[in-house]
Amino acid sequence: MSGYKLLINGALVDGDASLDVINPSTEELVATCARASSAQLDQAVAAAKAAFPAWSKTTMDERRTVLLAIADVLQANATELARLLTQEQGKPLGDATGEVYGASAFFRYFASLDLPAKVVSNDDKGRVEVRRRPLGVVGCIVPWNFPVMLMAFKVPAALLAGNTVILKPAATTPLTALKFGELIKDLVPPGVVNVIADNNDLGGAMTSHPDVRKISFTGSTETGKKVMASAASALKRISLELGGNDALIVMSDVDVAATAPKVFGAAMQNAGQVCIAAKRIYVHESIYDAMCDEFVKLADAWVVGDGLEQGTQMGPLQNKAQFDKVMGFLDSAKKDGKVIAGGGRKGDKGYFIQPTVVRDIAEGSQLVDEEQFGPVMPVIKYSDPADAVARANASIYGLGGSIWAKDSDRAWDLAEGMESGSVWINKHADLRPDLPFGGSKFSGIGSELGEEGLKEFTQVQVLNMAR
């Protein structure tokens, strides 16, 4: 067994089984790590349940101190964690480093928050307060696209609110989570944070577990529905951050040469494996050809390769299943539109797909209607901005979206009509710890981050006294 162990009740333990983790750039083994059995999941939940009474009684200041210590340890180990993240996830090392520092900053942000009781009345008749109580054991389930960052959306908020945690990464990216467990082992009391890894087989047991009071889930819409159904048996609280099919609308008055690289980056970041990547690019007919030409230049010059190599701008798809899925989208793109850049696999080793631009494509094609989650960008023509917004909204998803225009007031007015949880103007995917993030429709339930996100890890309690 390798060094990558589970963290259960304050101890690093071997798994009852093991899991091979593959580097998507080389298809070679990165490491073999511990894999938990369902009995070990039960042990982790029991430890978290036992740790809850004492942890929930600590003061906010005591919990803040723990969050800041975790932020420090993430920062101090950023080089090692980022390298590991690139190896298991595939993203360029610079992006991986940014992700680790970002996660550290999110722990720091939550350490700055409070959950004060609200005194509604306090007079000679009595006293009424609205308070926020922790829920108990919280299960945090994260996907493989941002394993470190998405952990930091959940764990610090859960802890600050006074809950104890079971963290479960995706089966193809467990190493950074297990390393995180090792790094924080002595910073939190035993059982307060437990980290387990599975082979995509313990999610159901976590979500149906009677002693888990909340599931904070990020992943696909399909799995999100299963989480919701499974959580019903024990009436768990849930927050679901699910899939998206973000529309990005480019108005006729933009500077084409200056806007194209930003739009392209919004589609290609993390090889398109971002829940809020720009996945449908609507461009006004008057600049459509010019914009497509710019995208082709950018795609042809984009440096695709192993994330550990200097200069790499885009890594591979994270796993074989996702690679196969996106290759299937390419087939549909070739049938329904005109591929003007990329269009296939890059090389014969690793899960690389060329940055691909598809024009003369419209709704009704799989590439436009479904979430591609890969570096394949459909560019769709429109003539009336109001119609573009209506088409953007005609999706089951509603996670993010953006409008790009020189006339930002006009863009603002249009943005008010977008149905997504976040709408950006002249930027895309600007995630900040102090802003709530969540989706409408099939993109999720509830939100994370900001004060709203913190409150989702609590239960409201009214204390109402007569004098």
Q: Distances from the Cα of 452 to the Cαs of 57, 114, 222, 362, 445, in angstroms?
A: 22, 12, 25, 37, 13
CB 439 within 8 A of CB 242: yes
Nearest position to ligand NAD, beta carbon: 203
From the list 88, 99, 241, 294, the catalytic residue is 241
Examine residue 373 and tell whether it contacts ligand NAD (CB under 6 A).
Answer: yes
- β partners of residue 304: 314
Q: Cα(447)–Cα(123) distance, rounded to whole angstroms?
A: 36
Member of 90, 374, 378, 444 binding ligand NAD (CB under 6 A): 444
Least Å from the CB of residue 204 to ligand NAD:
4
399 binds ligand NAD (CB under 6 A): yes
63: enclosing H helix or E strand: helix 60-76
The token pair that represents 206 in the structure block: 């976590």
Does 459 contact ligand NAD by CB under 6 A?
no
The residue (of 25 and 89) whose beta carbon lies closer to ligand NAD is 89
Does 401 contact ligand NAD by CB under 6 A?
A: no
Can you tell me whether residue 161 is helix, strand or coil?
A: coil
Residue placing its CB nearer to ligand NAD in the complex, 55 or 457: 457
Residue 212 beta carbon to ligand NAD: minimum distance, rounded to whole angstroms? 11
Structure token digits, residue 38: 């369902």
d(CA 56, CA 228): 26
- If binding is defined by CB under 6 A, does position 143 make contact with ligand NAD? yes
Cα–Cα distance, 88 to 103 (Å, whole number): 17
| The one among 181, 219, 401, 446 contacting ligand NAD by CB under 6 A | 219
Among the listed residues 45, 48, 195, 275, the single contact to ligand NAD using CB under 6 A: 275
Q: What is the spatial distance between Cα 323 and Cα 16, in angstroms, rounded to a whole number?
A: 30
Q: State both tokens at 428.
A: 């895309």
Is 275 a catalytic site residue? yes
Site string for ligand NAD, 291-320 (x = CB under 6 A): ------------------------------
How many residues does this entry show for the chain? 467
Tell whether residue 23 is a contact of ligand NAD (CB under 6 A): no
Choice between 97 and 145, CB closer to ligand NAD: 145
Does residue 45 bind ligand NAD (CB under 6 A)? no
Q: Minimal CA–CA distance to 167: which of 147, 196, 188? A: 196
Helices 175-184 and 78-89 meet at what angle, rounded to 10?
Answer: 160
For 362, which DSSP code? -
Q: Give yes or no for residue 398 binding ligand NAD (CB under 6 A).
A: no
Among 74, 165, 227, 431, binds ligand NAD (CB under 6 A): 227
Residue 70 Cα distances to 111, 147, 193, 306, 331, angstroms: 10, 16, 12, 29, 45
Residue 241 annotated to the active site: yes
From the list 13, 17, 23, the residue with the least C-alpha distance to 317 is 23
* Rounded-to-integer distance, Cα 317 and Cα 173, Å: 13
CA distances from 446 to 135, 242, 272, 441 (A): 16, 11, 24, 11
By CB under 6 A, tell whether 239 contacts ligand NAD.
no
Q: Using the rule CB under 6 A, is 233 a contact of ligand NAD? A: no
What's the distance, Cα to Cα, between the start and end of the chain in Å? 63
Q: Which stretch binds ligand NAD (CB under 6 A): 21-29, 96-104, 242-250, 357-365?
A: 242-250
Cβ closer to ligand NAD: 87 or 173? Answer: 173
Interface with ligand NAD (CB under 6 A), residue total: 28
Interface stretch with ligand NAD, choices 176-184, 203-211, 334-342, 449-457 (CB under 6 A): 203-211
Binding of ligand NAD by 374 (CB under 6 A)? no
Which residue numbers are catalytic?
A: 241, 275
Which stretches of the chain bind ligand NAD, using CB under 6 A?
141-145, 168, 170-171, 200, 203-204, 207, 218-220, 223, 226-227, 241-244, 275, 371, 373, 399, 439, 444
